[in-house]
Amino acid sequence: MSARSGFGCELPRWSLTRWLVEPGEDIPDSMRRTLLHSLYASLPIFAGGVLNTVAVSALVAARMHTTAAYIWVALEVLLAAARLPALVLGRKAIAEGRRGPTDVYILLAVLWAASVGYGTFMCVASGDWVAAALACLSAAAMVGGICFRNFGAPRLVAVMIGLSLGPCAIAAAFSGQPVLLLVMFQIPFYLISMSAAAFQLNRLLVRTMRAEMINDHHARHDPLTGLLNRGGLARWAAEQAGRGNGSLAVFYLDLDWFKSINDTMGHKAGDTVLVGVAERLQQLAVGRGQVARLGGDEFVLVADDLDRDGADALKERMCAAIADRAYLVEGRQVHVGASVGVARSEEHGDDLAILLEVADLALHDAKSNGRVASGTSRVRDGGPVAFRDTGPSFAAPRVN
């Protein structure tokens, strides 16, 4: 699958950043992109976190007046100056459907967590407990923002929490304060529990997304043939609107003598024929358009960039594909024919509902006027093409 998608973020290219945002589930790339999209969300939370760490580091530096404190301020300012443009460019790239600085953005998030951890370590190790309390409280507050903004990437959450608060536990060993040794046990426990919660939340989110994808697929597809249903076809047409693919042709067809197959051989046999017809129509539609089953034995093929001659040629191929070859049903060969009505956007506009209605009327007009000899068609002046193909000459479905 391509690394590009119309929705969501580009998947990272670097092995490290890909590992950091891997949700730990066997899920499609499209879902991974959607999860990754959450990293670019909640701009106010991002801005609040940046302002908080810059302000805290500046206050600590003003209080301590040490080289280590000034380094922390410099790190926070530089990272803020780099992360904000990366966020803005990434959000813009997502909106425009192109690749953004995803790898850099993820790496900067990790470096920012490491900078916060450096500040907490430096303050606790210094013995300035006012500065230490300020830095550690700020780091603890940042953990909430990390969990909230990065729920789509639990590994990234675990790494950022560890880098932000983990140094507090290490610094406690060098503080000279026995009471702080308790922190060496409290913080690791906190890190483990928060990381586990991030993974649990992510698994719940993935299950929810899977269920939504399945429900959405069922809502848009015919369960027997796997083709789009009427609602799915309407959504597909809406997504294609405005792409300038030239004239649109809608082929509305149903099968001749299909009811007799159901009546004489059973609905299971009829279903086998419907699946076979769907497969043949899909083969014809490759590179041309989309196929849908509207119900019963009614199918629709929507093709892009077809003039009148192209529509006539495709119509002929559709009828031949359906009628010329038999369908194997329970070890026997069954033949069906097809009736087709065609409507083109150059004659009736781009509205799919109207085109379907016109093509359906053309189909019924052909049926009401009786069968036309195989391989022929007729065109009403300024109107849709109506075509009826019986396949081999017989008055009922042929079973060999």
**Fold category of 230-389 in CATH:** Alpha-Beta Plaits (3.30.70)
pLDDT at 168: 85
Distances (CA, A) of 42 to 48, 54, 88, 143, 156: 10, 19, 12, 15, 17
Per-residue pLDDT of the chain (400 residues; tens, 9 = 90+): 333 333 456 788 899 998 998 876 677 777 788 787 777 776 777 777 888 899 999 999 999 999 999 999 999 999 999 988 888 888 888 777 778 888 999 999 999 999 999 999 999 888 898 999 999 888 888 887 777 777 788 889 889 989 998 888 888 877 777 777 777 777 888 788 888 888 888 888 888 888 888 888 888 999 999 999 988 888 888 877 655 556 788 999 989 888 888 888 888 999 999 999 999 999 988 877 899 999 889 999 998 877 788 888 888 888 899 988 889 888 888 889 888 999 988 888 888 888 889 999 988 887 776 543 333 332 222 333 333 333 332 333 444 4
- Helices 154-172, 129-149: axis angle to 10 degrees equals 170
3-state secondary structure of 350: coil
The model's pTM is: 0.62
For the chain, give every domain's residue range. Answer: 15-219, 230-389
Let me know: does 325 contact 393? Beta carbons within 8 Å.
no
Q: What is the DSSP string of 208-219?
A: HHHHHHHHHHHH
DSSP annotation of 227: -
Distance CA 263, CA 135 (A): 79
The per-residue pLDDT for range 49-73, each reduced to its tens digit, is 888 899 999 999 999 999 999 999 9
DSSP 101: S
- Render pLDDT for 135-148 as a digit per residue (tens, 0 to 9): 988 888 888 777 77
For the four alpha carbons of 72, 77, 82 and 87, in that order, the dihedral sign comes to positive
Q: What is the DSSP secondary structure assignment for residue 181, as one 8-state letter?
A: G
